[in-house]
Chain A
């Protein structure tokens, strides 16, 4: 049986001028590499900016979660500009406002608080991902498994 499943496109903003952009990138990696690797697909914003057909197709067919580091909301804007649907728009600054103890510092390398802020953001987003692309039920007759 084929395993063609709905995926959620994760689009971080790529901001390079402030730590919040790095938080968006880190949160995207948290989601796509650790928390929900089977139901997410990382989309590079630069490819959307360039109009890359594969990237455009991904956001056109998958609901997208845009993670933005500043008020200009480049990621969300680009998803819409590319014909995609933004299922959830996350602003790093909003998450930080609720977790003032996690002040991100460092752009090339985030401080521990910034890494933790990224993780908090990612954790908050998993609920949306699971609603959009439910995880596979565990396989096997014993009820075990790691799916």
Chain B
């Protein structure tokens, strides 16, 4: 039997408009979704958790999520845990930048070179975490009829899996 991915991973970025690091989370999430792991990931709008996105909440309850936060407030991680389920992994851009010895990102609207490097590093880290979370096996499980709400990436036929903690 062919090996097929059991699950998709939800990416929840804080997108914080006030800080350059928030922009980094947004662009890194989109890089993973559109370029690095397009078949394994979907994005989830953080505000939809509270503003009526029942399908988004449900998706994040039964699928692993990776949260991307710009700062130590960790809004995405905390809100995901509060309104849905504990994220399987989380990345904080501030921490990642410090760990990698990168310069501090600047330019919340148009990132500077340091910000673009932070996007590269964050996206690469998230792609690695996606690979850790996605398991391939032959276990056949029924696919839930989950579909995200209006402003999220379409997904169908994703199979729920247990939570697994990886990364930070």
Contact = CB atoms under 8 A, between A and B. Distances in A.
Interface of A: 12-18, 20-21, 25-26, 28-29, 33, 42-50, 52, 69-75, 77-78, 81, 107-108
B9 interface: no
A42 B22 CA distance: 13
Contacts, number: 116
Interface in B1-60: 13-19, 22, 26-27, 29-31, 34, 43, 45-53
B18 A44 contact: yes
B50 A81 contact: yes
A46 B151 contact: no
Given A47-B75, A78-B47, A72 B17 contact: no
A3 to B, nearest CB: 22
A47 B14 CA distance: 9
B94 interface: no
Contact of A17 (B18, B31, B76, B153): B153
Nearest to A34: B109
Contact of A44 (B17, B43, B52, B148): B17
Nearest to A41: B18
Contacts of A49: 46-47, 49-50, 75, 79
A18 B47 CA distance: 14
B83 to A, nearest CB: 8
B150 interface: yes
A52 B73 contact: yes
B17 to A, nearest CB: 5
B117 interface: no
11 contacts: A21-B151, A43-B17, A45-B46, A46-B46, A47-B75, A48-B47, A49-B50, A50-B73, A52-B75, A74-B45, A74-B51
